[in-house]
Structure 1
Amino acid sequence: MPHSVRSPVSDNAVPSSSPEVVPVVDDKFPHSARIYDWWLGGKDNFAADRAMGAAMLEAIPNLREMAMENRRFVHRVTRHLVLQAGIRQFLDIGTGIPTRPNLHDVAQALAPETRVVYVDNDPLVLAHARALMMSTPQGRTAYIHADLRRPEAILTDTTLTDTLDLNQPVALAVIAVLMLLGDDEDPAGKLRTLMQALPSGSYLTITHPTQDFDPEAVGAAVAAATRGGMTLVPRSRSEVERFFDGWELIEPGLVPVTAWRPDSTNTTEPHTAYYWSGVARKP
């Protein structure tokens, strides 16, 4: 279920505008970028990540499939935004460990001039992003080691301002990230800071886990996360919908992640992946 999670290193996140400081990976604590990697069959994870991933799988046995559905959703949305909305700039918060195709792979295959800035708070993601996230010659990809809890630092990072033109529409992707902030951390306010910085014609994409479809299983997953020192906050449909306030949800609105403009290969029953998903346009 996680995509990128709060961990002890996040409070010491160093923006990429300070490349001489290299954050240190702490393998004693689970981080959802690495848990997600383990669910997807990757090898960039540690014992703490695997233990937490297994505990959550015990609560929700099809979490691996849910992780894949989240990725498929990102691919579908990216294709729509590039081909139908003409978007050529993306800001992806909570990137996770690179797993191809990444967002920029999909976007630049359709529009090679597309520019993408990735943001995550796991130092291991930083190392892989620098090595693997190669842009087309016409476009650009960049990575910021930062945290959604400090949106102003993201917006003022020179890597972002050198890569994206905030006077032109940007697609802001917040995929399975807002669940990592408790209500006391004001996730809506943090997100609003980013939204307000983007011009008219920009888009916001969100997926968010919910207890609406299976309260007991999701409750068990939350309990496992809490025991491991992780924040995991599932939210109801109405709570997720409020993150989009002031922007216009495009069709089909806020729906289960598998039901957002599914392609012909998607035969999954919508409520088997416990995420709400939506895309909205700034008027």
Structure 2
Amino acid sequence: MTTDSTARIRTDIAHNARVWNYWLGGKDNYQVDRAVGDQVTAMFPGIGEVARADRAFLGRAVSHLVGDAGVRQLLDIGTGLPTGENTHEVAQRHAPDARIVYVDNDPIVLAHAHALLTSSPGGVTTYIDQDARNAREILDAAAETLDLTRPVAVMLLGILNFIPDTDETHRIVRTLMDGVPSGSYLVLTHPTLDADVGGAGNQAAMDFWNANATPPITGRSRAEFLSYFDGLELLDPGVESCSRWRCPEEAPVPQFGAVGRKP
């Protein structure tokens, strides 16, 4: 951990990466994170299921893209704290030569990046300390590890919801997907207030979060989520609750998930 990253870590306010880690059963969190996490859970008891469903979606999506679609390069933006079944672990279990670039700008994640920098001998895993808003800079840095003339799976799981300006989120997605070739994929999850997947109870919890933790969160509708895939070919089953993506027997959670292919 560098002195700079240490200085950037705040323990007086709950932070998403640490609260998410708490909900997933991790230990890289502080009392303030646990207190806010417990309060959100009291207001919206299903939040732990959302966290676990998002992680399970990651596993299914990466397993399909690497194991079935032959993708060997993954750009995971908004990495979060290391837990079980991280992107590189899933990918390199299917293809030991897979190359993974993680991106985050959270100082806690940076401090734990060494746990993400393990790799199978034939593959590569690297970490970029960068804000998701800086899509062009991310691509430039990723090009040191990934061959951007070959397909890349661009992963944005639970990250666009921390950028309130929808136009800006579209710019980020367009820049990233314009920077990768045909045959690349976009992998997204995003929380929603849509009632058909149980999102009606989300608003009070989001309001509490935004008053007591950082960064603030924004829910988006199915139509807004679908718009991120304009110009891409959605893989079956299209936009679905992330818990039910290729797992239809599961109960829905208020977090959409989908994978699209760049034609």
Task: Give me the TM-score of the superposition, normalised by structure 2.
Answer: 0.93
Maintained 8 Å contact 1:211/1:234:
yes
- Tell me the residue number matched to 2:246: 261
- Tell me the residue number matched to 1:165: 147
Give the AA of the match of 1:259. R
Cα pair distance change 1:259/1:46, threshold 3 Å:
same
Of 118, 129, 144, 1:134 maps to 118
- Tell me the residue number matched to 2:164: 182
Give the AA of the match of 1:113. D
- Tell me the residue number matched to 2:194: 212
Is 1:197 the equivalent of 2:164? no
Q: In 2, distance between residues paired with 1:221 and 1:20?
A: 34
Maintained 8 Å contact 1:31/1:122:
no
Cα pair distance change 1:132/1:104, threshold 3 Å:
closer
- Tell me the residue number matched to 1:32: 16
Maintained 8 Å contact 1:98/1:133:
no
Deviations 1:245-264 (A, max 9, x none): 111111111111122111xx
Of 37, 50, 58, 2:34 maps to 50
Give the unaligned 5+ runs of structure 2: none
Maintained 8 Å contact 1:37/1:44:
yes
| Count of aligned residue pairs for this structure pair | 258
Q: In 1, distance between residues paired with 2:189 and 2:199?
A: 18
Deviations 1:113-153 (A, max 9, x none): 00000011211111212135300110000011111111122
Deviations 1:162-202 (A, max 9, x none): 21111100001110111101026711112211111011100
- Tell me the residue number matched to 2:231: 246
Secondary structure, counterpart of 1:268 in structure 2: coil
| 1:48-87 matched pairs, under 5 angstroms | 48-87=32-71
Cα pair distance change 1:132/1:175, threshold 3 Å:
closer
Secondary structure, counterpart of 1:186 in structure 2: helix
Q: In 2, distance between residues paired with 1:74 and 1:68?
A: 10
Q: In 1, distance between residues paired with 2:26 and 2:181?
A: 37
Cα pair distance change 1:29/1:245, threshold 3 Å:
same
Give the unaligned 5+ runs of structure 1: 1-18
- Tell me the residue number matched to 2:135: 151
Give the AA of the match of 1:250. L
Of 233, 236, 239, 2:221 maps to 236
Is 1:280 the equivalent of 2:260? yes
Q: In 2, distance between residues paired with 1:183 and 1:131?
A: 32
Q: In 1, distance between residues paired with 2:144 and 2:43?
A: 44
Q: In 2, distance between residues paired with 1:225 and 1:121?
A: 20
Secondary structure, counterpart of 1:168 in structure 2: coil
Q: In 1, distance between residues paired with 2:69 and 2:109?
A: 29
Secondary structure, counterpart of 1:118 in structure 2: strand
Give the AA of the match of 1:280. G
Secondary structure, counterpart of 2:120 in structure 1: coil
Q: Where do 4+ consecutive residues of structure 1 move more than 3 Å?
A: 19-22
Q: In 2, distance between residues paired with 1:279 and 1:140?
A: 23
Of 121, 131, 155, 2:105 maps to 121
State the percentage of identical aligned residues: 43
Is 1:102 the equivalent of 2:86? yes
Maintained 8 Å contact 1:155/1:194:
yes
Task: Give me the TM-score of the superposition, normalised by structure 1.
Answer: 0.86
Cα pair distance change 1:65/1:20, threshold 3 Å:
closer
Secondary structure, counterpart of 2:177 in structure 1: helix
